[in-house]
Structure 1
Amino acid sequence: MKIVSIKDIFKKKVLINSIIQIQGWIKNKRNSKSNLLFIDIYDGSCVNTLQVIVNKNLLIDDEDNEIIKSTPGCSVSVQGKLIYSLNVEQKFEMHVNKIKVVGWIQNPDSYPMSSKKHSMEHLRNFAHLRPRTNIIGCISRIRSSVFYSIHKFFYKNNYYWVSSPIITSLNAEGAGDMFSVQYSKNNDKKKKFYKNFFGKEVFLTVSGQLSIEAYACALSKVYTLGPIFRAENSNTSRHLSEFWMLEAELAFSNLKNIIEVVQKMLKYIISFILKNNTNDLLFFEKNFNDNIIDKLENFLENKIKKINYKDAIKILQDNKIIKTDSSYLDIELNLEHEKFLVDKYFKKTVIIQNYPKNFKPFYMRINNDKKTVSAFDVLFPQIGEIIGGSQREERILYLDKRIHELNLNINDYQWYRELRFYGTVPHAGFGLGLERLIMYITGIKNIKDVIPFPRTPKNANF
């Protein structure tokens, strides 16, 4: 018996009137006066359910009769004939020949993923079960497509994927708190933790950038995609302690080149989602009254606005968002400023470039004015910063000066500095926070809802 997915049924890849088998979970179940049982089955392959119709008079063995006692959430295996439905609200249905309960809900009254609508806060308490809901299912499929489209984009453009280390002795950002890595011995009854496994103190990485810069200086075009960790005690709707980051580096390039790559990549990802996750996007439109598809199509059709940091500050000052006439070199953008620029002033995605050097890390290339760096941030409506990048400082004297200015230990960066001794090249790169991009695509307001198992201060429960 051929096992098919519900997704393939709705994509019309399965022949009508054929005998097929599906496997999934009960979403809803209802009886009719005509001794028929109507069951909606989902298998996670798409947002659609398939209605299967069981004639209770044909339930002849014990396995078949178990379906009478089944409840939403039970897993089932169903065989039957696929036909077009006479119900205008659905395209297909299955007339069941055989149905078997595979896994039971042990206590239906306490099952936390019942058919009723649940709040996102409720679902976060059951991160292991929430993928069974339509909303988390849609988010998960879109998330999968985003990751796939990234790999596809870079492969098509001749980039090489490099697996950057998760354990590191180096703070790539040069500032900020990091998670220390310790170990304990299995036979240590007192649960002592030790730091000297690697012979030095090591941390969970905050970025793979410095590592892949080394590979960019040999393979020319590289990227990495993996989890990174930030020990910020910030429990907002925009922050996670563990999240996924795409980072890319391009040799023989400058700020202009890398911004072009970013724009092409974003349009490729959005286009891919529109083509391959239409039903998931329609679910968000239907349930949240948000014109998500129009928003994404407008993103593809319109050019991203590019402005200099100096001009962004002037706009904010002219509109009284910033109430000081201080030099742009002394004013750091915050979330309120970013939201005004993208949500109210330009009403579109904005790229801000050439930031004051005092607000950026040591590795960004100093501009000719000696006051700014060749850096950029990509700001999205409703979200804020999603991407940050720059041309990297390839000149050893400038790099060393910045390391000293920021009071960093130059010895910690010796291998990174050596890249400037041995065949240095101009190069540029960026980092993209995957969860924030998924928030923009789906319209989800809290970053904790777009990652399978969120890690935040006081929360690592699953």
Structure 2
Amino acid sequence: MWGEQSGFSQRILIKTILKGGETVVGETVKIGGWVKKGRKGEAGKIAFLEVNDGSCLESIQLIVKSSLWSLPDLTPTGTSVYVEGQLVMPPETNKKQIIEVMVSRIIKVGTVDPAKYPLPKGRHTLEFLRNIPQFRYRTDTMSAVARIRNALAQATHQFFQMHGFFYIHTPIITTNDCEGAGEMFQVTTLLNDAEKLEKELLNNTPPSPFISQLKARAPSEAEISASVSELKIAKQNLSMLGERSKLKPGIPIMDGKIDYSKDFFARQSFLTVSGQLHAETCVSALGSVYTFGPTFRAEHSHTSRHLAEFWMVEPEMAFATLEDDMRCAEAYVKFMCQWLLDNCLDDMKFMADKYDKAAIDRLRMVASKDFIRVSYTDAITILEEAAKEQKFVNEVKWGVDLASEHERYLTEVKYESPVIVNDYPKEIKAFYMKVNSDNRTVAAMDVLVPKVGELIGGSQREDCPKVLRERMLERGLSLESYEWYIDLRRYGTVEHSGFGLGFERMLLFATGLDNIRDVIPFPRYPGRADL
């Protein structure tokens, strides 16, 4: 059979067939996919199926005779088919197809009831698709987003690996708050333990009087052995009841507070908001590392820019200053943009055609332009001047963080270019950022791009243990919880820097979509955690 097979399946990818074009006519192939459109022709004796297998945006047409299968079972949208057939040239009247499959054998069919299928033929809003996450990737838009997401993930690993970074896995469960914002999901088994205890106490019944019954007859050795086992269990239950009788129902309390020593990890723990702090332990030995994984924030926000679960790319570099950090961030963003242009252009053309006409031009601009560098102080001056002529919703003054409208003004109006803003006031940035010599600002930077504003946030990390402790105390953080982090500064400290890129924000920038819930497979936000 012709063609490179799909992984460990015998089917040939549709993208491979379409790439071969006329040169593969006459070859026999196996194809598996899902029917996008189906219709019957020639008085019901033949069916034309437009099938897509997810390997590319384009579908291929299958021609099936009624002698092979019941055609009404094949034509409904969503039906899965696995077939074998010969590649043929379409008739000259068919301008849509460059090659077709004349099916000779039906291997497997997964039928669909058209009356019940949640994703009927036709165009659907992205909001509607969010309500059927198990099927939305069967649409052209969401499959294109999935391939673009895959390409950006591949580009991420390619970029950092080629620059000598080690990929590390930081924990999802943590006892530290990297951002110091307090908006974290707590991880606990105390509620489960309390419910379990109540059920066990209710269901525990006194042991049956089997001993006296056993003595009344001549027991066998097997009966005696079974009775001894039952006695042991009864003794254990009695002991547990004795211990539990001392406990109060509900969550354990000590000195008026929840007693986390009784929790699973014997201390308060959370889902991570960032892998940075743990990555710093690795960078102090490996030199350059990056982590790429899910992070969580319990922020009750319903905006189009926020998720409760999102993915972050977070590199850390030893012996690196803020200048090095900015150069790395710029190179990384440019690399991703060029990667999409080189490897995912068909999907990008689809997104540009359906959603954002400027999507491809925006990628080309970012990939080719040098990023503008401007200090936070100068950016505020520029925005204050701009505010004299145009109305900003959010206040512009020194000491206030830039809002999305400010970021987009700088990138889309003032410079028409990506912008890196550096040296922010220390009061609005995290405790771990290095304090500058002016003692007012920190060596922090944000990479701003058109459409989404902030794409990357990073800094040179504070390497002085004394200053780090002072910053933690200013933020009301427990020094005891962060002693291990301060240790990194006490023993063999070096200048080091890093940044975090919001992966879904990069996808918004690339695809041109407006809602962050449409660029992640299973969006989690307040009130919704489907599947």
- Give the TM bin, normalised by the shorter chain: over 0.9
Give 2:84's aligned residue.
Answer: 79
Supply the distance in 1 between the matched residues of 2:332 and 2:20 (Cα, whole angstroms): 31
Supply the distance in 2 between the matched residues of 1:67 and 1:101 (Cα, whole angstroms): 13
8 Å CA contact 2:420–2:448 kept in 1: the answer is: yes
Greater shift in the superposed pair: 145-154 or 338-347: 338-347
Supply the distance in 2 between the matched residues of 1:403 and 1:375 (Cα, whole angstroms): 17
| TM-score, normalised relative to structure 1 | 0.94
8 Å CA contact 1:310–1:328 kept in 2: the answer is: no
Supply the distance in 2 between the matched residues of 1:243 and 1:282 (Cα, whole angstroms): 26
Greater shift in the superposed pair: 357-366 or 168-177: 168-177
- Displacement of 1:330 in angstroms is 2.6
Q: Select the residue among 56, 70, 81 that pairs with 1:46.
A: 56
Q: Select the residue among 431, 445, 461 that pairs with 2:514.
A: 445
Q: Select the residue among 309, 330, 334 that pairs with 1:242.
A: 309
8 Å CA contact 2:51–2:61 kept in 1: the answer is: yes
Give 1:120's aligned residue.
Answer: 126
8 Å CA contact 1:160–1:219 kept in 2: the answer is: yes
- Displacement of 1:452 in angstroms is 0.4
Q: Select the residue among 112, 115, 133 that pairs with 2:139.
A: 133
Q: Select the residue among 429, 442, 466 that pairs with 1:360.
A: 429
Alignment partner of 1:21 is 2:26: no
8 Å CA contact 1:365–1:374 kept in 2: the answer is: yes
Report matched runs for 1:332-371 at 5 Å: 332-371=401-440
Give 2:290's aligned residue.
Answer: 223
Give 1:89's aligned residue.
Answer: 96
Q: Which runs of 5+ in 1 are unaligned?
A: none
Specify the SS of the correspondent of 2:103: strand
* Larger Rg over CA atoms: 2
Specify the SS of the correspondent of 1:215: helix
Q: 1:229 to 1:45 in 2, by over 3 A?
A: same
Superimposed CA distance per residue, residues 116-157 of structure 1 (whole angstroms, 9 cap, x where no aligned partner): 100011000001110110100000011111111111111111
Specify the SS of the correspondent of 1:419: helix
| TM-score, normalised relative to structure 2 | 0.82
Q: 1:222 to 1:323 in 2, by over 3 A?
A: closer
- Displacement of 1:67 in angstroms is 3.1
Supply the distance in 1 between the matched residues of 2:349 and 2:89 (Cα, whole angstroms): 22
Q: Which runs of 5+ in 2 are unaligned?
A: 2-9, 201-249, 253-259
Alignment partner of 1:3 is 2:8: no
Spell out structure 1 runs of 4+ moving beyond 4 A.
185-195, 321-324
- Displacement of 1:187 in angstroms is 5.0
Alignment partner of 1:387 is 2:456: yes
Percent of residue pairs identical? 39
Give the total of aligned pairs. Answer: 454
- Displacement of 1:339 in angstroms is 2.1
8 Å CA contact 2:64–2:102 kept in 1: the answer is: yes
- Displacement of 1:293 in angstroms is 1.8
- Displacement of 1:246 in angstroms is 0.6
C-alpha RMSD of matched pairs (Å):
2.1
Supply the distance in 1 between the matched residues of 2:122 and 2:480 (Cα, whole angstroms): 59
Supply the distance in 2 between the matched residues of 1:294 and 1:123 (Cα, whole angstroms): 28
Supply the distance in 1 between the matched residues of 2:399 and 2:507 (Cα, whole angstroms): 33
- Displacement of 1:211 in angstroms is 0.4
Give 2:152's aligned residue.
Answer: 146
Give 2:342's aligned residue.
Answer: 275
Supply the distance in 1 between the matched residues of 2:518 and 2:356 (Cα, whole angstroms): 18
Alignment partner of 1:457 is 2:467: no
8 Å CA contact 2:447–2:457 kept in 1: the answer is: yes
- Displacement of 1:90 in angstroms is 2.2
Q: Select the residue among 415, 420, 430 that pairs with 2:499.
A: 430
